Amino acid sequence: MPSPSPEHPGLFIRDPFRYSDAMLVVPPVLAPCLQCFDGHHTELDLRESLVRLTDDLQVGEIESTLIQTLSAAGFLEDENFAAMRDERRQVFAAAPVREPSHAGAAYPADPGELRETMARYMSADPPAAAADNLFAIAAPHVSPEGGWQCYRDAYRALRPEHRGRTFVILATSHYGVPETFGLTRKSFRTPLGESPCDVRLVDWLAARGGEAAVMEDYCHSFEHTVELQVLFLQHALGPDVRILPVLCGPFAHSLLNGGRPEDVDGVGRFLDALGELREREGDNLFWILGVDMAHMGARYHDPFTAVAGEGLMTEVAQQDEARIARIAASDGGAFWDLVKENQDELKWCGSSPFYSFLKAAPKARGELLRYEQWNIDDKSVVSFAGMAFRKPA
């Protein structure tokens, strides 16, 4: 992304997988050279590019420094990167607990301050009357400071009688391999406490879910979509709520090639297992979807500036509402038909968790509690909603 520091202009680079902790700013004059690091260009191509950009034939030292700096940071696909990657994955696999990854950034790390913040999010209007047969909610995974009203409306639907259930959290995997489902046996720790994982059900789902099930998926170590749901769960029902976290990778094959996600063998088998789990466990489970919706504007590679509730975003709201209506009607097929139009031009990152839930619970009766759009920056908007789902009468 562009450097956030006016004193250090250029291209800012960091590793979202956190294999590397390094952060680099490549000066504007050198940024075009990065296209040479694609596995196809040679060092001679890089040297030629540097000569053209610097108007200097003596670029050997610049070339060497650039390569060494990128390699040392773990930003080249070489032995150093492989060592960093393998070490981080091994550390996560061996850890007994999934530590909080976004405390101090997305929410306060101090327990007292966090409790005050959560109380502020969850207060205001009195909660709605308890919904009969409530067995699932959908909440955002956007920054709580931006989406707290949708979080509030979704999580205030929970009641003390739900506390003893296992909470199946179907959440977006922003960095996971497409057509996979990331599982973990680890408890999730936040500043509010530790939520144990229902290992028995995780192992059952892994055994029945086939090759699409990825056990101890490293993405769990840094992905925020489950972590934020655990935070609100702990505030609503206590820190020791039991969870079954599932990171749903994008259904890229179906978007690019048409058809339904379950037409991919691995996906179909896992969705069947998820549905069987719901039938077997019944009221022992409560389902939570950690999902955002449209992503529009410059941050998401659109050639326009997006402003929440204005201009093009009013049209996006209408398209969002059409998809939400299909979700509420539990019409997974019609929902997916809308998603795959123009290969999901709205960029709904929550489409795979939503679709997975609709396949696992095909008779759910959904209700929209609140819909919002939020400017995540001056030029980009994310949309999201709070929803509640009941079993049919």
Q: Show which of 59, 90, 121 is a domain's final residue.
A: 90
Percent of the chain whose predicted confidence (pLDDT) is above 70: 98
How confident is the model over 329-348, as a mean pLDDT? Answer: 97
Of 55, 73, 90, the position where a domain reaches its end is 90
Residue 43 shares a structural domain with residue 109: no
**pLDDT tens figures, 291-312:** 999 999 999 999 999 999 999 9
Number of domains within the chain: 2
Looking at residue 55, its pLDDT comes to 80
Helix (H, G, I), strand (E, B) or coil at 390: strand
Structure tokens, 115: 């409790």
Does one domain contain both 331 and 373?
yes
pLDDT tens-place string over residues 28-44:
989 999 999 999 999 99
Task: Decide if 220 is inside a domain.
Answer: yes
126 falls in which pLDDT band (50, 70, 90)? Answer: low
Write out pLDDT tens, residues 224-281: 999 999 999 999 999 999 999 999 999 999 999 989 999 998 999 999 999 999 999 9
Q: How far is the CA of 15 from the CAs of 98, 136, 175, 180, 385, in angstroms?
A: 19, 34, 11, 21, 29
327 located within any domain = yes
CATH value at residue 210: 3.40.830.10
pLDDT of res. 130: 52
What residues have CB less than 8 Å from 357, skipping those under 6 apart? 136, 170, 287, 289, 364, 389
CB-count exposure of residue 8 (10 Å: 0-12, 13-18, 19+) = exposed
Q: Mean pLDDT for the chain?
A: 95
Boundaries of domain holding 62: 11-90
Residues facing residue 371 across a β-bridge: 385
**Same domain assignment for residues 35 and 129:** no
Could you tell me if 276 and 337 are in contact, meaning their C-beta atoms sit under 8 angstroms apart?
no
CA neighbor of 135 nearest in space, from 279, 320, 350 = 279
32, 180: one domain: no
pLDDT score for 342: 93
**pLDDT for 69 beyond 80:** yes
Instruction: Report pLDDT for 125.
Output: 62
- Summarize pLDDT for 85-113 with one digit per residue, the tens: 999 999 999 999 999 999 999 999 999 99
Residues 291 and 361 in one domain: yes
Residue 3 lies in a domain: no
Residue 294 lies in a domain: yes
Residues 166 and 227 in one domain: yes
Q: What is the pLDDT of residue 393?
A: 74
pLDDT, tens digit, 9 for 90 and up, residues 127-146: 555 567 999 999 999 999 99
- Take residue 211 and report the two structure tokens written for it: 């090759």
Q: Do 60 and 158 reside in the same domain of the chain? A: no
Q: Whole-model pTM above 0.75?
A: yes
Local confidence band at 56 (pLDDT 50, 70, 90 cut-offs): confident
Q: Are both 49 and 152 inside the same structural domain?
A: no
Identify whether the C-beta of residue 3 lies closer than 8 Å to the C-beta of residue 11.
yes
Q: Tell me the C-alpha distance between 324 and 326, whole Å.
A: 5
Domain identity same for 83 and 194: no
Same domain, 84 and 103: no
Are 316 and 372 in a shared domain? yes
Same domain, 145 and 194: yes
